[in-house]
Structure 1
Amino acid sequence: MKDESSVNQEQLDRPAIGIILRILSGALFAAMAIFVKAVSADVPVGQIVFFRSAFALIPLVVFLWMRGEFPGGLATRRPLDHLLRSALGAAAMFASFASIARLPLAEATLLGYLSPIFTAIAGVVILSERATAWRAAGVILGTLGVVALVWPELGQSTAHETRLIGFGFGLLMGLLTAFALIMVRSLSRTESPGAIAFYFVVASMIGGIATLPFGWAAPSLSQFLYLVGAGIFGGFAHICMTLAFRYTEASRLAPFEYLAILWPILADLILFGEPLTHPFLLALPLVLAGAVVAALEASRRASSLKD
């Protein structure tokens, strides 16, 4: 078995593989979101969450089995922590899909980039981490971006209620994702990434099927294929992202993570006929800059702890 130093050296020796996998994961996540958007007008959110999670299990279980982590690698001594992380992640998925149903794909995706900013805030408030100028700058830039995106809606005499609800779900998704990532950071010290991903998918599937009494739609053949595609693509996207971090340091992958916003923009323009609004174009650099600053601060902190 390779020791930790040899694994780290292997990661540093193959950065190009990690970058390719990170770009691929962004494209796959975008494809998943496109399928979700395509059925969101006719299929309830809970049903979408169930299909996305259930069919994501197929590539995930195959991947874990090929790595020798299924089922033995799923053993855990921290079931309650897994339950909390999975519940937060499942709730974030519900909020994300509800936002996608009400907003252009690019706008809903952009709000997801607020999660590093919320994570920075949570680190100070919950974990008693030191408030730095980097964190303050990230929070300010992210807040300005949200204001730029939402303010035109509030400034209208009759605000578009559907869009405002979509913005609310998008912000909730970013907040829940931040808390989920804090739990992932804690779990990663003792648990395998495969186990963390598996329990999250199972919890999301259970949460989705729990909405069955509230009414599910009978999907057409094309809608069913979209739902299956959302799960398959989402599962492969998660696998690619996991492998990317095995081959390349997170700091090298960060720019390619933010590059992924291009796919939802192209989907809105080409597939859904949604024009890019002036508020979105103003909010885009502000939110991304805030996320980058927050991520860089976290990277600097992690490097200093290693030293």
Structure 2
Amino acid sequence: MSNDNLAIVLRVVSGLLFAGMIACVKLASSSAPTGQIVFYRSAFALLPLVAFLVVTREFPSGLYTKKPLGHLLRCLTGCVAMFCSFATLSYLPVAEATILSYLSPVLVAILAGVFLKENVTIVRWVGIACGIVGTLVLIVPQLTGEVTEGYATGVLLGILTAILTAFAIIQIRNLTKTENAGAIAFYFALVCTIAGLATAPFGWVQTSPTEFAILVGAGIFGGFAHIAVTISFKHAEASKLAPFDYLSLIWAVGVGLLVFNELPGASFYFALPFILGGAMLVAFRESFRRHMPR
């Protein structure tokens, strides 16, 4: 398997794992405050991350870094994005919260060209554009109706999450040039654990065994997801992987339907061809060009 194809597979797998994490976070948000969820999600994510480093024989040596300030900036940006993302889930259904996150791939493609000097090809731009059209088809019908204060708050938090996530992804891509993939995810989880713990004085709740298991599940899913996504960025350019973020809509809809009984409206089915088409265009068109006889 080529590096590009491996990166694509890892990105899709990470989307599935993140869907599991989102389900746990959404379930927990009905009873636990955001800071407490961030703590559990991050603290228990450290378990698979450390196991990953041990298996690859990179613990503790793999935690050595040449760019401590780069890690700090990535961690702070990603940590604020996590708080905003989890807060968004407390205001919006899973599918709609996921929809807003699709703004980040567009920003990633632009930022990758500006800061990382990556070659954003026409094929990639078309793929990203298709995803954006699909996103608009999904979200515009919701915004044209009567908007409640809670929905508006969720939309604003979702947009802020997308902006911060895009910057975090660019920072990850830059760090993977010299830093260990597991270390990037480890330091992020560690900083978020500390940040989440710092919110304890502001009011945490006593969790039941079921609620505790859900919070732990968020951490386990999130830990494995971060390993997959971080390694994927090591094998392919951020702008090429951006369109595959749209596939997470399928997983989000599945979570919403199976766990929260949220059935997608008609706009979802109109948007689906654009979203899937954008991802497949990049995957198959560029693969075809690489294998064309010269």
TM-score bin, normalised by smaller chain: 0.7 to 0.9
CA contact (8 A) 1:142 1:287 kept: yes
Aligned pair 1:62/2:51, yes or no?
yes
1:82 aligned residue: 71
Note the C-alpha offset of 1:219: 1.5
Unaligned runs of 5+ in 1: 1-10
CA contact (8 A) 1:114 1:291 kept: no
CA contact (8 A) 2:105 2:242 kept: no
2:104 aligned residue: 115
C-alpha separation between the residues in 2 aligned to 1:126 and 1:275? 40
C-alpha separation between the residues in 2 aligned to 1:99 and 1:289? 27
- What TM-score does the superposition give when structure 2 sets the normalisation length? 0.80
1:166 aligned residue: 154
- What TM-score does the superposition give when structure 1 sets the normalisation length? 0.77
C-alpha separation between the residues in 1 aligned to 2:190 and 2:135? 32
2:144 aligned residue: 155
Aligned pair 1:35/2:29, yes or no?
no
2:167 aligned residue: 179
Q: Which of these residues, 10, 15, 26, is aligned with residue 15 of structure 2? A: 26
CA contact (8 A) 1:22 1:240 kept: yes
C-alpha separation between the residues in 1 aligned to 2:48 and 2:129? 39
Note the C-alpha offset of 1:24: 4.1
C-alpha separation between the residues in 2 aligned to 1:19 and 1:134? 16
C-alpha separation between the residues in 2 aligned to 1:281 and 1:130? 32
SS state at 1:218 partner: coil
CA contact (8 A) 1:110 1:284 kept: no
Q: Taking structure 1 as reference, are residues 62 and 272 closer, same or farther at Cα in structure 2, changes over 3 Å only?
A: same
2:266 aligned residue: 278
Note the C-alpha offset of 1:83: 0.3
C-alpha separation between the residues in 2 aligned to 1:148 and 1:282? 7
Aligned pair 1:102/2:91, yes or no?
yes
Q: Name which of structure 1's ranges 232-241 and 60-69 shifts more when overlaid on structure 2.
A: 232-241
1:225 aligned residue: 213
Q: Which of these residues, 195, 207, 228, is aligned with residue 195 of structure 2? A: 207
CA contact (8 A) 1:12 1:249 kept: no
Note the C-alpha offset of 1:271: 1.8
Note the C-alpha offset of 1:202: 0.8
Q: Name which of structure 1's ranges 159-168 and 75-84 shifts more when overlaid on structure 2.
A: 159-168
Note the C-alpha offset of 1:195: 1.3
Unaligned runs of 5+ in 2: none
Q: Report the AA paired with residue 234 of structure 1.
A: G
Q: Report the AA paired with residue 46 of structure 1.
A: G
Q: Report the AA paired with residue 100 of structure 1.
A: L
Q: Taking structure 1 as reference, are residues 82 and 260 closer, same or farther at Cα in structure 2, changes over 3 Å only?
A: same
**1:152-200 CA-partner distances (Å, limit 9, x unpaired):** 44433x4122222222222221211110111112111111111111111
Q: Report the AA paired with residue 155 of structure 2.
A: F
Aligned pair 1:195/2:183, yes or no?
yes
C-alpha separation between the residues in 2 aligned to 1:142 and 1:244? 20
C-alpha separation between the residues in 2 aligned to 1:146 and 1:195? 33
CA RMSD of aligned residues (A): 3.6
1:5 aligned residue: none
2:224 aligned residue: 236
Q: Taking structure 1 as reference, are residues 245 and 137 closer, same or farther at Cα in structure 2, changes over 3 Å only?
A: closer
CA contact (8 A) 1:109 1:264 kept: yes
Q: Taking structure 1 as reference, are residues 260 and 240 closer, same or farther at Cα in structure 2, changes over 3 Å only?
A: same
Note the C-alpha offset of 1:68: 1.5
SS state at 2:77 partner: helix
SS state at 2:2 partner: helix
C-alpha separation between the residues in 2 aligned to 1:18 and 1:33? 22
Q: Report the AA paired with residue 52 of structure 1.
A: R
C-alpha separation between the residues in 2 aligned to 1:173 and 1:282? 25
Q: Name which of structure 1's ranges 265-274 and 248-257 shifts more when overlaid on structure 2.
A: 248-257
CA contact (8 A) 1:193 1:242 kept: yes
C-alpha separation between the residues in 2 aligned to 1:126 and 1:117? 14
